[in-house]
């Protein structure tokens, strides 16, 4: 057979199946496009759950489910061959959706002619709903294919007993795939009866005569004879035989001829025989699952409580979905966009009704009977969740075929209009597919970030709770082997419910899990009432060491609790500002793997005074340089209790777990404890026996971290911007994190680099960070070795490498490029991406006015803090205050030398006993004037407003003023005559009077 293209007015000869193949390949491309973009949603999780059961379990489970087992059995076989994974699971639907294209082309050619067949392939290839469900791990694409094949064999094999196997197999498979496929069989039965009882002169061509066996020959050859060998219509034509006799052009003015009416079947029983055989094939499943299905549906209706839709809404929603797919929320008002498709389908229906395609009358039954039956079911057992139109996707092929017939009819009648209609339909299809490829349909059900975080640090010894069957499907699809132990919650929650009397079972199971697993992960679903889930979280907080509580969506949060055996600490009771007392503490003493293990901490608190507001327990892990590597802030018992709810004098036992940081260098770290006000993170002061402040953090224990074995993957690191830059094969920069700008001159750039060692290191490395202005000049340079010496790096190791890059106080405002280099032991820059420097990102800096002339002030102070900062004076009111008033205070600072640390000012109002009545802590200027940005000699005005408590007794009060480092709460010494005289100044000569 020859394939030949020619100039306009000439003919190109090739088989119409070439066009069908073209559209099939195009449709395949659309169906594999962004196959992993949409997350698995709940129903897809159910599919994978079923497919991963044994065959007997699968059959038993689907007998009490809404769908029969054939799709799940096929998926089970497919995953066993292709391997587990969401993309592989979806590829089964891709294949079904792709095969639907030639199947409907064949059906259209059988019912009408080859022109309709080619156009049916084109319509099906791009139909949004067909593409959607070719990317879903559900049975809708498969049942639509099986339904179409059943209709095709129904048409082709009618009257041919020896060729009915195709019909019986596809129809039975459809029934075993989805219960609603019975509506397609009903449509065939009603059409057969309709045709059987019609007068012979008006009967459509069903059953087909034996002379019309060829899919393409009967109509096409007649058309060829009508058009004649000498026809010269412009366009593309097909040649089906080696003798190259020309056929009618693809879109001819002439319509197809009608085949003679075949004889009536010998008897009604013979016509009903295939339906009877299909019923016998389906009977075993009906007997096995029928009663269970009825009970399941009745319960499902009670639980879900959907309202039935009226006739117009029901049919309208389905036709809109068949036309342009599922409209996202922001496009719901554009349902009228389905009008071009509805117009084309209406023209097709008109052509069929006028007798142009007499066989195609079956399409009315194929479309309307399932929709009508579905509507009746909707009245009795309504099921109308989001995208509910998918349940009747099996009727959509009839609609798409009517669109194809309508386009052919319009081409024959109004050649100029068909291009406009086709362009409108293609535009709407393109918009719908664009939304599908770019907008997540179920963002709140996206478990990929959650499971990626678990997979990054979990070990096979961990346990992962599965609350629902679909969750178990997600775990098996997304978590690579070796994965944590999967523990299905008994009764999918009912077996742990206190309301059902199973609180003891919950306690016993959690204790058993923590005795076997170092960590227990609990993704808690919050959209179903979360009653037993809350009870489980309480048990985890009491029996384990709660480590993590992270929300991933409004309906999903992840809880991590660890096992542990903390050892009691030999420390005296600690007094937190006469409000809380730490009576005892215990901390795990064993070495831990960084990024994988958890530090167990048990605290015994006693409330000694009124807190006045909510406070949280804060744990901080620091290195020898005072850098923070890990933190945990939580209310007592993982939020199950608040200090404000605890009566004064009462005690509580409070457990916490601190997840060790991934990428931390092996070594010894210190664990610090503080109590902070929730509103502003202000810590309670630790007081000694005399009531004097000792600081804000209590050292608990030293923690030894080891390199994890096996090494963790890059996903374990909290990378903000991911890269994959190799520096001369000596180090790989996975990414970096940088605090949000703009940054003020004199501040620091908090840059954290994340490295991976691709090889054993043999020499030292040094990091060079540079700020480069728009002219290419270097404005600032920073050089430091990595946090862990490169000579200690092992192949595959991860390193979290924090750096505080100081910005010069006199740095002009503007945009600077932050460049990174790595120097080897010879001081040479290692190549990266073909250059010596790697540009990380653009940094925006700002400046502020500097005042070098002393402003006026009321009270001279002249307090010298470490020969760096001078408190020159202050302004305060001379009139007495009343309880509840606000004390306005303005401090006048002067920088006497460069300041390398960012100090925070504290202002305390104390009574005669030294008790703090009111206080305010802030970076000078309410955060606007960090001390690292002060220029020597400049003055800064720093206002405060201390609120006196309403119950403040009358009397004289004193102000205490000082500075501390918020990272380690060390205070800047007060110096006089070269000697340290304290860590704050008390304004004894200027008392604050309260009347």
Of 124-138, 229-243, 521-535, give the lowest mean pLDDT range: 229-243
Give the chain's largest Cα–Cα span: 123
- What average pLDDT does range 888-897 have in this prediction? 94
Is residue 244 a contact partner of residue 13, using CB atoms and an 8 Å limit? Answer: yes
Residue whose pair of structure tokens reads 């194809």 in the numeric block: 404
pLDDT number for residue 928:
84
- What average pLDDT does range 580-584 have in this prediction? 96
* SS3 label, residue 828: coil
Q: What are the phi and psi torsion angles at 910 (to 5°)?
A: -115, 155
pLDDT number for residue 245:
35
Nearest residue to 98 via CA among 20, 214, 215, 176: 20
Q: What percent of the chain has pLDDT over 70?
A: 91
DSSP conformation class of 204: -
pLDDT number for residue 200:
66
Cβ contacts of 197 within 8 Å, gap of 6 or more: none
pLDDT number for residue 158:
65
* SS3 label, residue 955: strand
DSSP conformation class of 254: S
Alpha carbons 789 and 799: distance in angstroms, whole number: 10
pLDDT digits (tens, 9 = 90+) for 914-944: 888 888 889 998 888 889 889 999 999 999 9
Task: Kindly report the number of other CB atoms within 10 A of residue 367's CB atom.
Answer: 25
Q: In 54-139, which residue ranges form alpha helices assigned H by DSSP?
A: 55-62, 70-82, 86-111, 114-126, 128-132
Nearest residue to 691 via CA among 576, 612, 572, 571: 576
pLDDT digits (tens, 9 = 90+) for 252-273: 333 444 444 444 555 788 889 9
R_g (Cα) of the chain, nearest Å: 38
Give the pLDDT band of residue 989 (cuts 50, 70, 90): confident
DSSP conformation class of 790: G
Of 117-121, 482-486, 777-781, 985-989, give the lowest mean pLDDT range: 985-989
CA dihedral 344, 347, 352, 357 (to 10 degrees): -70
pLDDT digits (tens, 9 = 90+) for 795-838: 889 999 999 998 888 889 999 999 999 999 999 999 999 899 99
pLDDT digits (tens, 9 = 90+) for 343-385: 999 999 999 998 888 788 999 999 999 999 999 999 998 988 8
Mean pLDDT of the chain: 88
- 825: tokens are 């032991």
- 532: tokens are 């037993």
Of 2-6, 485-489, 699-703, 898-902, give the lowest mean pLDDT range: 2-6
Taking phi over 0 as left and psi of -120 to 50 as alpha, with beta for the rest, 434 belongs to alpha
Higher pLDDT, 406 or 932: 406
Alpha carbons 180 and 742: distance in angstroms, whole number: 60
pLDDT digits (tens, 9 = 90+) for 612-623: 889 999 999 999
Q: What are the phi and psi torsion angles at 140 (to 5°)?
A: -65, -40
First-last CA distance in the chain: 109
pLDDT number for residue 748:
85
pLDDT digits (tens, 9 = 90+) for 77-131: 999 999 999 999 999 999 999 999 999 999 999 999 999 999 999 999 999 999 9
pLDDT number for residue 238:
35
- What average pLDDT does range 234-260 have in this prediction? 36
> Does 781 sit behind a cis peptide bond, omega within 30 degrees of 0 on the bond before it?
no
- What average pLDDT does range 559-586 have in this prediction? 94
Give the pLDDT band of residue 237 (cuts 50, 70, 90): very low
Cα angle, residue 627 at apex, residues 846 and 938 outer, rounded to 5°: 35
Residues paired with 600 in a beta bridge:
657
Alpha carbons 652 and 646: distance in angstroms, whole number: 8
pLDDT number for residue 905:
95
Distance of CA 519 to the CA centre of its chain: 23
Cβ contacts of 825 within 8 Å, gap of 6 or more: 763, 764, 765
- Cβ burial, residue 913 (10 Å; 0-12/13-18/19+): exposed
| In the predicted structure, residue 441 carries a pLDDT above the cut 90 | no
- 410: tokens are 């319009």
pTM, rounded to two decimals? 0.83
pLDDT number for residue 537:
94
pLDDT number for residue 653:
95
pLDDT number for residue 250:
35
pLDDT number for residue 159:
57
Higher pLDDT, 178 or 921: 178
Nearest residue to 960 via CA among 691, 699, 614: 691
Q: What percent of the chain has pLDDT over 90?
A: 66
DSSP class per residue in 516-571: H-SEEEEEEE-TT--HHHHHHHHHHHHHSEEEEEEEEETTEEEEEEE---PEEP--
pLDDT number for residue 264:
54
Pairing mode, strands 838-846 and 743-744: parallel
pLDDT digits (tens, 9 = 90+) for 147-175: 999 999 999 876 565 568 899 999 999 99
Alpha carbons 22 and 96: distance in angstroms, whole number: 17
Is residue 544 a contact partner of residue 655, using CB atoms and an 8 Å limit? Answer: yes
- What average pLDDT does range 232-243 have in this prediction? 34
pLDDT digits (tens, 9 = 90+) for 466-523: 999 999 999 999 999 999 999 999 999 999 999 989 999 999 999 999 999 999 999 9
pLDDT number for residue 356:
83
Higher pLDDT, 571 or 403: 403
DSSP conformation class of 832: B
- Cβ burial, residue 630 (10 Å; 0-12/13-18/19+): buried
pLDDT number for residue 5:
33
| In the predicted structure, residue 394 carries a pLDDT above the cut 80 | yes
Is residue 131 a contact partner of residue 433, using CB atoms and an 8 Å limit? Answer: yes
Of 15-29, 215-229, 695-709, 788-802, give the lowest mean pLDDT range: 215-229
């Amino acid at each position: 057979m020859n394939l030949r293209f020619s100039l306009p007015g000439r003919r190109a000869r090739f088989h119409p199946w070439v066009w069908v193949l073209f559209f099939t390949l195009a449709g395949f491309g659309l169906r594999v496009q962004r196959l992993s973009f949409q997350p698995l949603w709940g129903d897809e999780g159910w599919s994978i759950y079923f497919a991963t059961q044994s065959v007997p379990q699968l059959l038993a489970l689907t007998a009490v489910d809404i769908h029969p087992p054939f799709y799940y059995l096929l998926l089970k076989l497919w995953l066993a061959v292709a391997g587990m994974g969401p993309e592989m699971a979806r590829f089964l639907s891709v294949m079904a959706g792709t095969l639907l294209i030639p199947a409907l082309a064949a059906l259209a050619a059988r019912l009408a002619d080859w022109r309709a067949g080619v156009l049916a392939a084109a319509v099906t290839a791009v139909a949004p709903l067909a593409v959607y469900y070719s990317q879903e791990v559900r049975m809708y694409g498969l049942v639509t294919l099986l339904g179409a094949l059943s209709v095709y064999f129904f048409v082709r094999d009618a009257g041919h007993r020896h060729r009915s196997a195709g019909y019986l197999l596809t129809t039975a498979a459809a029934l075993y795939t989805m219960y609603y496929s019975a509506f397609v069989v009903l449509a065939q039965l009603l059409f057969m009866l309709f045709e059987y009882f019609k007068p012979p002169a008006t009967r459509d061509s069903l059953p087909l005569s034996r002379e019309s066996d060829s899919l393409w020959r009967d109509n096409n050859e007649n058309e060829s004879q009508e058009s004649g060998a000498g026809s010269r219509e412009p366009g593309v034509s097909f040649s089906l035989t080696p003798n190259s006799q020309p056929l009618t052009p693809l879109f001819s003015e002439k319509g197809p001829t009608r085949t003679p009416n075949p004889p009536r079947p010998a008897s009604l029983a013979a016509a009903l025989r295939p339906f009877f055989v299909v019923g016998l094939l389906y009977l075993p499943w009906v007997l096995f699952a029928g009663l269970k299905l009825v009970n399941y549906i009745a319960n499902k209706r009670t639980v879900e409580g959907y309202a039935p839709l009226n006739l117009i809404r029901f049919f309208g929603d389905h036709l809109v979905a068949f036309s342009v797919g599922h409209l996202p929320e922001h496009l719901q008002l554009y349902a009228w966009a389905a009008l071009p498709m509805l117009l084309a389908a209406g023209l097709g229906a008109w052509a069929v009704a006028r007798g142009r395609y007499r066989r195609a009358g079956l399409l009315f039954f194929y479309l309307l009977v399932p929709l009508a039956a579905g509507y009746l079911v909707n009245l009795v057992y309504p099921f109308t969740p989001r995208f509910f139109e998918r349940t009747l996707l099996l009727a959509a092929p009839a609609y798409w075929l009517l669109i194809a017939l309508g386009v052919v009819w319009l081409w024959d009648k109004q050649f100029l209009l068909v291009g406009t209609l086709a362009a409108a339909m293609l535009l709407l299809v393109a918009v719908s597919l664009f939304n599908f490829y770019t907008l997540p349909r179920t963002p709140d059900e996206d478990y990929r970030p959650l499971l990626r975080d678990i997979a990054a640090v979990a070990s096979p010894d961990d346990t992962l709770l599965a609350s629902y069957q679909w969750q178990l499907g997600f775990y098996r699809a997304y978590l690579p082997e070796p994965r944590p132990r999967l523990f299905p919650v008994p009764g999918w929650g009912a077996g742990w419910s206190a309301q059902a009397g199973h609180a003891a079972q919950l306690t016993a199971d959690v204790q058993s899990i923590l005795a076997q697993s170092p960590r227990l992960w609990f993704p808690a679903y919050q959209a179903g009432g979360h009653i037993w889930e809350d009870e489980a979280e309480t048990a985890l907080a009491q029996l384990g060491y709660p480590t993590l509580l992270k929300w991933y969506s409004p309906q999903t949060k992840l809880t991590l609790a660890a096992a542990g055996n903390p050892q009691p600490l030999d420390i005296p009771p600690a007094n937190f500002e006469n409000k809380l007392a730490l009576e005892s503490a215990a901390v795990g003493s064993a070495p831990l793997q960084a990024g994988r293990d958890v530090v167990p901490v048990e605290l015994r608190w006693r409330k000694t005074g009124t807190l006045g507001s909510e406070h949280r327990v804060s744990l901080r892990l620091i290195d020898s340089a005072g850098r923070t590597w890990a933190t945990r802030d939580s209310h007592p018992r993982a939020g199950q209790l608040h200090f404000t709810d605890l009566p004064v004098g009462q005690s509580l036992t409070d457990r916490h777990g601190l997840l060790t940081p991934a990428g931390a260098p092996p070594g010894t770290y210190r664990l610090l404890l503080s109590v902070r006000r929730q509103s502003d993170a202000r810590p309670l002061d630790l007081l000694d026996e005399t009531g004097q402040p000792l600081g804000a953090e209590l050292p608990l224990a030293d923690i030894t971290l080891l390199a994890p074995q096996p090494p963790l993957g890059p996903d374990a690191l909290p990378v903000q911007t991911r890269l994959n830059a190799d520096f001369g094969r000596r180090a790989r920069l996975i990414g970096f994190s940088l605090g949000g700008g703009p940054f003020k001159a004199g501040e620091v750039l908090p840059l954290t680099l994340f490295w991976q060692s691709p090889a054993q290191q043999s020499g030292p490395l040094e990091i060079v960070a540079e700020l480069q202005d728009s002219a290419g000049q270097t404005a600032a340079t920073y050089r430091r070795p990595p946090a862990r010496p490169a000579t200690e790096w092992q192949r595959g190791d991860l390193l979290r490498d924090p750096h505080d890059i100081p910005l010069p106080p006199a740095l002009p405002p503007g945009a600077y490029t932050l460049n990174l280099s790595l120097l080897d032991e010879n001081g040479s820059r290692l190549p990266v991406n073909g250059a010596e420097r790697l540009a990380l990102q653009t940094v925006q800096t700002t400046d502020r006015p500097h005042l070098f002339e002393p402003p006026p002030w009321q009270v001279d102070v002249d307090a010298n803090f470490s020969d760096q900062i001078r408190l020159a004076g202050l302004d305060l009111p001379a009139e007495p205050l009343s309880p509840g008033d606000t004390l306005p205070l303005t401090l006048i600072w002067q920088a006497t030398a460069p300041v390398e640390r960012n100090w925070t000012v504290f202002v305390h109002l104390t009574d005669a006993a030294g008790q703090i009545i009111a206080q305010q802590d802030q970076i000078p200027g309410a955060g606007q004037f960090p001390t690292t940005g002060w220029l020597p000699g400049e003055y800064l005005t720093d206002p405060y407003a201390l609120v006196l408590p309403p119950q403040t007794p009358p009397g004289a009060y004193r102000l205490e003023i000082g500075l501390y480092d918020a990272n380690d709460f060390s205070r800047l010494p007060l110096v006089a005559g070269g000697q340290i005289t304290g860590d704050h100044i008390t304004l004894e000569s200027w008392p604050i009077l309260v009347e």
